[in-house]
């Protein structure tokens, strides 16, 4: 991860306070800095199953709020995850793989990925390992809209703990915080490094640049995660 400046740390701790305050006793739909806050129940059907259509609609609302173009392809290719944890407002994401290619001769691979996060939403801690003949994925991120908080290897940062949903804290092993605002870039410090990402109080849209992504190469700290 890139070095956290004092200004970025101050921005991150302010965002953390806003997220914590917004989440406390949240009933129904609230707005924080113009961004909606949802109840977790809004994304689960009566039988407890994850309501993907409701989740997609929330991300489309996020895109429109930021003025991000909703391409026709997004309406069919957007995918959403709650990681099987049942806490979508805390741990979840939306995404689209624009490209994910590995050449037949095994010489190169590349990925173009867009990440969508609701306010305070976390991608749980994970890493990418070597799988068969494919090297570990290496990646970097450009914050396009909102704010995102990267957690990775390095000295623990003040203000990182409060950003992490309470139920996930025991599954987070790295707490070096890098705050990205629009136009700022962060990157993984090495292949196979543990890392996670948490949106700021208005959510985030993040472009990921990376080598080839294999779902078989993903490893999560939380053993309850399901894809």
Q: What is the CATH number for 69?
A: 2.60.120.10
Residue 21 Cα distances to 11, 16, 32, 141, 180, angstroms: 16, 9, 9, 27, 21
**What is the per-residue pLDDT for 11?**
39
**What is the per-residue pLDDT for 162?**
97
**What is the per-residue pLDDT for 34?**
67
**What is the per-residue pLDDT for 64?**
96
**What is the per-residue pLDDT for 5?**
40
**What is the per-residue pLDDT for 8?**
40
**What is the per-residue pLDDT for 21?**
34
Asked, for residue 1, whether it belongs to a domain, the answer is no
Asked, for residue 227, whether it belongs to a domain, the answer is no
Asked, for residue 226, whether it belongs to a domain, the answer is no
Which one-letter DSSP state was computed for residue 92? -
Taking 50 as the pLDDT cut, the residues of the chain under it are 2-32
Asked, for residue 221, whether it belongs to a domain, the answer is no
3-state secondary structure 67-90: CCCCCCCHHHHCEEECCCCCCCCC
Enclosing H/E stretch for 13: helix 6-23
CA dist., res. 217 & res. 98, Å (int) = 19
Asked, for residue 12, whether it belongs to a domain, the answer is yes
Domains held by the chain: number: 1
Asked, for residue 218, whether it belongs to a domain, the answer is no
Asked, for residue 97, whether it belongs to a domain, the answer is yes
Asked, for residue 139, whether it belongs to a domain, the answer is yes
**What is the per-residue pLDDT for 106?**
72
Residues of the domain holding 49: 6-101+109-213
């Amino acid at each position: 991860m890139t070095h956290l400046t004092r200004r970025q740390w101050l921005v991150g701790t302010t965002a953390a306070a806003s997220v914590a305050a917004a989440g406390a006793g949240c009933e129904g739909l609230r707005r924080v800095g113009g961004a909606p806050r949802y109840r977790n129940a809004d994304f689960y059907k009566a039988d407890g199953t994850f309501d993907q259509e409701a989740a997609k609609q929330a991300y489309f609302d996020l895109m429109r709020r930021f003025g991000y173009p909703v391409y026709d392809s997004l309406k069919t290719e957007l995918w959403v995850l709650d990681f099987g944890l049942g806490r979508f407002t805390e741990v979840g994401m939306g995404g689209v793989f624009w490209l994910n290619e590995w050449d037949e001769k095994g010489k190169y691979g590349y990925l173009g990925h867009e990440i969508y996060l609701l306010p305070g939403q976390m991608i749980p801690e994970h890493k990418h390992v070597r799988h068969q003949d494919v090297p570990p994925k290496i990646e970097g991120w450009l914050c396009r809209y909102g704010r995102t908080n990267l957690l990775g290897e390095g000295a623990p940062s003040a203000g990182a703990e409060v950003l992490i949903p309470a139920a996930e804290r025991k599954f987070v092993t790295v707490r070096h915080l890098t705050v990205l605002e629009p136009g700022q870039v962060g990157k993984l410090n090495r292949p196979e490094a543990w890392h996670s990402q948490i949106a700021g109080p208005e959510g985030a849209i993040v472009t990921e640049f990376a080598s080839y992504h294999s779902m078989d190469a993903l490893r999560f700290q939380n053993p309850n995660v399901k894809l």
